[in-house]
A and B are shown apart, each in its own frame.
Chain A
Amino acid sequence: MKTSDEKNRIFQDMQQYPEKYTDEQIEALMDEIDQEPDVNAAWNEFCDKNNLEADIQVTNNQTAKHNLRRWWPAVASVVVIALCAVGLNTNTKNENPVGGVGVYDTDVDTQNAPVCIDPLETGKKQNKEIFAPENKLTAQNDVPAKPMATSEDDKSSQAGTNNLILAHNNGASPISSIRIRGNGGPDKDPVFIVNGHQIKKEALDFIDPEHIANLKVLKDDEAKAKYANLGEQIKNGVIEISLKPEATNLYAELWQPQKDDDKVYACGEKSPSFPGGQDSLRAFIHQNTKYPDVAKNAAVKGRLIMQFVVEKDGSLSDIKLMRSMLKDTNGEPADSTVINACCDEALRVLKLMPRWEPGGYYGDNGFVVLRTHYCMPFLFSDLVEKEIRIR
């Protein structure tokens, strides 16, 4: 019976020099590696090590008995936005107002709401929902998604005549529909004005209700009178939100036009790709990169990592040098003239490239393109003819 160390030694040898072994020996090793682990045993060990209960029971903590569930994207609880506007009366939740429009039950059952960590720690122990922004990033480097907290308020918040329905969707967005009147279809969104600036409905998710001083609902004539300049879109009414003074600066970002769309993402669900795939990309670079004389004369070889943005239309922009791994024969880094020459060459090649396929993610309504970063190494060497290993 071989010891574990001996075995590992043989395994490593088999990996480095497979030709030394028979097929049967290799297959035996492969079978061992692919043997299904005992997941339950592993889980029990994990629980022991981390002081978890192996059999998950609902735990009581000081605030509530949980219904443990994933909070994203299938959020099952209700979000209520505090309304403290003039003209809203504190009607009861059970009354059916005019128009047969339902009003949400705002007395949230605090016993069953999940308790989440509030990164905008306000020191209040409330039950809060956390929502992540709609633009999803794949967690490439253990970067947590940035949550933003909105808190539930226990004040009742309905109007007699101004009825806000907050519909909750167990899908991608926390607030998917706000209607002033009726249940309408997709084009019935009212216009949202925050401190005099129009914002998109999606941006509403980012506003902490605690920061709202005042909310007013304008319908029909009132809306038309004040916001005629906005044209057609006010036909579904206008919701005016004013923020508390201390919060004004927090949300300035929201009314920068198209700010979301301008962001460049490090990585979407799908990376941008060169037409024809990696092979074509490699071939293209190989065929077009010329080893600059400056580098040749200085006997400098190595790689340059170039970073650029793949725009939504596939064009490349914002090309810059990310890292230079050019070294001379002594292993010393190359000097700046050489680096610049190689950089220029890389830039030249990048500009020659045809349009890329942009990166992005798969949203509810299909593929959404995003401006995405991409890194590319460029090899500079007189051995530019690299043989592809053929087996």
Chain B
Amino acid sequence: MKNEEIKRLFQQHYSKMYRVARTILLDEHESKDVVSDIFERLLSGNTVLLPATEERYLLTSVRNQCIKRLHHEEVKRLAAESYSKEQDDTEDDERLGEVIDFARQSLSVQEQRIFDLRFNQGCSYEEIAIAEGISKVAVWKHLSHLITIIKEHFNSSK
């Protein structure tokens, strides 16, 4: 992808991507890393983004990378305790879509909406609180819950 294009995408979407990453990873530096990785891949690859769906694509990429990272952390932790199998990275991508769809089904309607607002639209906590008519802390609790569910599903389906 061309430099000018990357720059535009970066400037337009970086904030939201970073926000999505921090929601899952919490850590500032890791989040920056993930977002940076995604742009690096775009820079060196042949992926073409369609204007109508580029934001969605970018935010979904961030989300997926973050979940994979969490899983790899988990695996490393387990590896320290016991024998662990080789992780197949290509399988991960395929599973992620399924797992997230499935995990979403076990969420309440409101949590599904909050999931959408945060991960598909990159809304801030404040914006979600206003949209849903609930307190910010309630937003936090819902999001924490749904992230836990997704983590569990992803880890358990291996």
Contact = CB atoms under 8 A, between A and B. Distances in A.
Interface stretch (A79-87, A139-147, A211-219, A343-351): A139-147
B117 interface: no
Interface string A218-240: 00000000000000000000000
B106 interface: yes
Contacts of A144: 45-48
B28 interface: yes
B49 A139 contact: yes
Nearest to B129: A30
B98 A305 contact: yes
Interface residues of B, number: 67
Contacts of A147: 46, 48
A70 B144 CA distance: 39
Interface residues of A, number: 61
Nearest to B135: A23
B144 A8 contact: no
B5 A70 contact: yes
Interface stretch (A41-49, A91-99, A150-158, A180-188): A41-49
Given A18-B144, A269-B53, A282-B105, A56 B11 contact: no
A16 B141 CA distance: 9
A39 interface: yes
A279 interface: yes
B132 interface: no
A292 B28 CA distance: 48
A13 to B, nearest CB: 10
Q: Most chain-A Cβ atoms within 10 A of its Cβ — which of B5, B28, B107, B148?
A: B28
Contacts of A4: 27-29
B22 interface: yes
A39 B145 CA distance: 30
B144 A16 contact: yes
Contact of A43 (B2, B10, B124): B10
Interface stretch (A198-206, A255-263, A312-320, A382-390): A382-390
The 6 nearest A-B residue pairs measured at CB: A11-B26, A144-B46, A145-B48, A68-B4, A15-B144, A377-B102
Interface of B: 2-7, 10-11, 14-15, 18-19, 22-23, 26-29, 32, 35-36, 39-41, 43, 45-53, 56-57, 60-61, 93-94, 97-98, 101-102, 104-110, 112, 124-126, 135-137, 139-142, 144-145, 147-148, 157
